[in-house]
A = this chain, B = another copy of it.
Amino acid sequence: MPRPRQALLTRDRIVATALALIDADGLAALSTRRLAAALGVQGPSLYNHFATKDAILDAVADSVTATVDTGFFARLDWRAALRRWAWSYREALAAHPNVVPYLAQGPGRRPAALAMADAVYGGLVRAGWPPARATHIGAALRYFVAGSALGSFARGFVEDPELYAAHYPHLTQAHRLAGHQRSVDEGAFALGLDALLHGLAAEYERTVGPLAPLEPIEPSG
């Protein structure tokens, strides 16, 4: 087939299809030939649109990051903004857990990831945090969110009572975790995030100054 009248591929279509395949079958199952087949095309044709497979993965990762809402920092108290952002970030990653191992290695040169880092850091500095502290806070929250999306804690346990009963006296109920994946992961995230923010507020008062009163909001979750 020579060049077709209507282009068969676009970058957007490649990225969307790649994300769907990764969601369905995992990161390791994405090969250029399989991706191309899903697009009705031969493998090497992808290289007319992306330089390498990694470039495709970068675009996929950035498309996920782009769905995170960072607008809170422009209009909310830093504590409320951090909370909303963290939940939005987590939601974006948890919707595509299979890309998290790739995405979590850092923003690299991906525009959406850099824009997010920019918004968070800028918001914290504007709120009075010293620059070094703002960096630390952004990093700490990224650690927590990425970790929570990476290895769904509950999914990591096997549905096999025998395995745990024998050697791990406190894990006799662990096999039931796999069945409550969502509530366990969300509960752990909510608890950890609230604890983190609570501790950061105390640190703020100790090292920066008094906190503005915060209009009450529903507890995160």
Contacts and interface: CB of A to CB of B under 8 A. Distances in A.
Nearest to A117: B171
Interface residues of A, number: 68
A147 B136 contact: no
A22 interface: no
B199 A106 contact: no
A48 interface: no
A147 B189 contact: no
A147 to B, nearest CB: 3
A137 B132 CA distance: 28
Nearest to A194: B199
B168 A114 contact: yes
Contacts of A170: 118-119, 121-122, 125
Given A104-B147, A117-B174, A195-B196, 6 more contacts: A101-B104, A109-B163, A135-B187, A143-B144, A192-B196, A198-B202
9 contacts: A101-B104, A107-B156, A108-B156, A122-B170, A135-B188, A140-B195, A195-B196, A195-B197, A199-B199
